[in-house]
Structure 1
Amino acid sequence: MAVNDQEFKNALKLWASGVTVVTSKTEQHGIKGMTATSFSSVSLEPPQILVCINRSTDTGEVMLEGKHFAVNILTAEQQQVSNQFAGGSSQEERFANVAWHEGALGSPVLDEALASLECKVVQQVEAGTHWVVIGQVEEVCCRSGEPLLYFDSAYRELATR
């Protein structure tokens, strides 16, 4: 017997995760971005990651059309950036007050992210309401700082020792 939606959500909110902003761009549709916590490494050789994107999002549509995207891992100071990209605002508003530049593959790279991984799409798998998108990492930029975390429906930070 399958669990109901609320039971599933209650269990998943107890999984602590980092917070990312996934971005992409095509000439036809412009720049797109969204907050995502469903992100993971897949392979070291070749270097691959995955993100899970709702099939109804315009960001996912552009990622799959353009065959490239960037995953920007947010810092503890970027809660507002996470909220801005989480929905409820236009794509123009999402990028309005965030410093970014076009990466080597053409996707927006957030200048103040803890790390940015530029990827080309190598596989997509339909899974329920989402696409599981596997990307081969072509460019990486790492900065110093602490990650923004999400746990039990709230932002969290690492405890200082």
Structure 2
Amino acid sequence: MTIRRPLRVLLVDDGAADRELAREVFDQHKTHVVIDTCASGARALAFLQQPDTVLPDVILLDLNMPGMSGFDVLNALKSDARLDRIPVVILSSSTHPHDVERAYSLHASSFMTKQLDFGSFVQQIDAFVTFWLHVRTTSSPF
């Protein structure tokens, strides 16, 4: 099956440098991926509630954000019938087992620890894109 439209990703991260770095890496996939970014959990939920927003195929969500944490955002997403089926991948600097457990208990699809080395981060995002393009290609009607 061929992809009729690009994979749409929403990145939610309060770190401006992290968002910019991720955007640079995702730009290497710009023929297959469209990325939207939000700097806070509250902004992401507001963005997703706008009637003209095209919902993402997958959300990349940071955990440690001021105000509304990634856990709060994940809980809100999974409590909303319109948004609850969107896969949410946690992308966090945390390696604490409790954070991983809690994310999965709130129905995160996956948990990735942010790679600090640029080359490793590029590989991590490349693997993410490859996986989600494959999943979308083999299981999605789009």
Q: TM-score band, normalised by the shorter chain?
A: under 0.3
Higher helix share: 2
Higher relative contact order (CA closer than 8 Å, sequence separation 6+): 1
TM-score normalised by the chain length of structure 2: 0.26
Higher strand share: 1
* Higher alpha-carbon Rg: 1
